[in-house]
Amino acid sequence: TDRLALYEQYLNTHANSQVNTQSFALNSDWQSNMSETQYAAKFSQIEEYLKSGDCYQINLAQRFNAQFEGSPWAAYIKLREANKAPFSSFINHPQGAILSISPERFISVNNNVVETKPIKGTLSRKADALEDQRQAQILAASAKDRAENVMIVDLLRNDLGKVAKPGSVHVPSLFAIESFPAVHHLVSTVTSELDEGKTAVDQLKAAFPGGSITGAPKIRAMEIIEELEPHRRSIYCGSIGYLSACGNMDTSITIRTLVCHKAQIYCWAGGGIVADSKVELEYQETYDKVNKILPLLKQ
């Protein structure tokens, strides 16, 4: 912990010359790549796929973009402090910067023990403490969100089972509530043990991309996403992490993740659509998820 604090202090005071830590500002309003009407039309197409049996869950996302000037690092620090996300990370690259404030673990491997923690189920926070507690209770009891969550748990049990010791895949936690500044999430935990001769990289290959941000079945869901979303996702819904020399690994799902490129900043938000989803609620959920991102960067 002390080493981490020292490293963070170094980053704040000695960031390289390409990352000016002084200021960040938007020069335009946020614009989405689909209107509410267009979102509703795509939602209807997904409903048809669900009814026909092509799939049983699809993650549909919209992309926001705005013009900016200044330091992506300054924007990241502001977002990190406001969101308190456990998988926050910043990557500066000659082609641009990645600002991730992800709350979601994808795959961790520690001494051959594998863990994944899919997020499926979201409800906005409330300013009043009692109302906020009630929101968490509503989410925990939501049959729709539980069904959405367990679909992805089953998918990930299969993904872990591809490289796991027989009989080692378990679900120690199902439908736990995890609360963040903008939203409550419904989170489950799936664990396993790597089979003999299998590595963390094998597990990553077997499970990537994360089922919580595609839908199910995974390949067909990805085909439908490619058909319906106006732009490809870039780093959004990918993964950031580390692989150690001893074979351990930890990775995130890059939700709540932004890209800065050539004076443009991009941000995505989406959600899982199932047979009993309501279009107006799903559309609002995409905005709830970025409630501590888009408005914050306009200030």
Instruction: List residues with catalytic annotation.
Output: 104, 120
Q: Which two tokens stand for residue 214?
A: 């595609």
Give residues with Cβ within 8 angstroms of 64, minimum separation 6: 30, 31, 32, 33, 266, 267, 268, 269, 290, 294
E strands within the chain? 24-26, 31-32, 57-70, 87-93, 96-102, 105-110, 113-116, 119-124, 170-179, 183-193, 215-216, 241-243, 249-252, 257-261, 264-273
Can you tell me the distance from the alpha carbon of 103 to that of 93, in angstroms, rounded to the nearest whole number?
23
- Residue indicated by tokens 């089922």: 211
Residue type for position 98: I
Q: Which two tokens stand for residue 195?
A: 């089979």
Widest Cα–Cα separation across the chain: 56
For residue 72, say if its preceding peptide bond is cis, omega within 30 degrees of 0.
no
* Closest among 103, 73, 63 to 86, alpha carbons compared: 103
* Runs of H (alpha helix) within 126-199: 129-141, 143-161
Residues in the chain: 299
Q: At what angle do helices 200-207 and 143-161 cross, to 10 degrees?
A: 130
**CA 67 – CA 264 distance, rounded (Å):** 5
* DSSP 3-state of 129: helix
